[in-house]
Each structure stands twice: as structure tokens, then as C-alpha cells.
Structure 1
């Protein structure tokens, strides 16, 4: 499965719609040298069909369900941090207590980094990761 950023795709499509409207204005204001009124009307009709296709695509993208709920994932990771924290020993009595503390700290660090990754939209190219 490949995830996409639907909001980014919608923004690109909306930019294409804006460019298309500008193209319509250019064609209506003079067309291209040697263009007949029929050519201009045909080109404008094609651009309008393209705009309508873009709008349909935006509606489709908006109707897709989200692949995951970031808030729910963050909550589960926070629960795991809390659970790992329960294994921490306030006053380590021996080497096993120190190992338990180090292991819990490692888990907490990993979950904290995972939370930052989720909050960053899953962008693994963030600084520090």
C-alpha cells in the first residue's frame, strides 16, 4: 500500500485549475496567432472539461478515508511511555535494577521519537531522525 498526502495533491490540482482559468482568459483575449474563433472556442471548451475533471478528482481525494488516525497513534504511544515508566526503579539496588532502568529509558526514548515522527506527518527525513 502506498500512502499519499491528499491535501498536497488537492493543492496541486487547485493550482492547475487557477492556471487553466488564466489560459482561458488568454485564449479569449486573443487566442494564438492564426486561430479562428472556432479554434478559440474549442480550446476553451477543452480547458473547461479539464477543470471539471480536476474538480472531480478533488472530490474523489476528499472522499478517501485516512489511512491512520495520528491522534490515536500518539495516544497509544503515550500509553506505552507510561507503561515503560512503571518499570523504572527509583533507587536501583543492583545491576538488574540499572538494566531495567536503562531498558525503560530506551523504550521511552524510542516512543518519544515515534511520537515526533507521527506529529511530523510521517516525514522520515526530519532533522534528528
Structure 2
């Protein structure tokens, strides 16, 4: 992630920190081990990567699957980001036209992030 931020080739990291993409490469049983990767980020590590992203003007995407799938980490990322002054894109992560309308989830986002 640090390499991508420093590269100058992106302005937003799409669904960063989402562990479900790593699950297909893990042979062990991850059932019941929710959000294994995000839980491994220390506050210092998270703060450093957010500071770096701010320095390079790279935003973090927060989308429905991230916020609803990992609410504890999403709130942590949001709070650190607000404190540091990071940029966020509230992405829809839409894979079809119906997925663009995320207003119905707004109350859920508020409960999780605030």
C-alpha cells in the first residue's frame, strides 16, 4: 500500500484493508476469524499510512462492503482519518446500476461511523 501511495499513480485506494481478498490465498480455516487482517494493523501503523496518504493526497474509499463488513475497523479508519485530515471517497462499489443507490444504507453508515 505504501508503494502505491508513493508512486503518484493513484488518487484513491479502492476498498483498502479488505481481508476477504486475501482469504482465497490462505489455506487455514478463517471461519469465525472475522477481519483478521484489519485487526492486525496497530494504531501506529494505521496512523502512519493515513499520514502518508494525506501527504500524497491519496484518498481512502469507504464502500458498503467495507463499512458493513468490518464496522469496527471502518470506524477506526474514519476516526483516525478525520483526526489526521485524510480524504475519503464514499464509494458505492457498484457492479451494476442498482448498486449505485446507497442512500438506503446512509443510516447504517451513520450508526457505524459516528
Superposition TM-score, scaled by structure 1 size: 0.21
Structure holding more helix per residue: 1
* Max Rg structure: 1
- Answer 1 or 2: higher relative contact order, Cα 8 Å, separation at least 6: 2
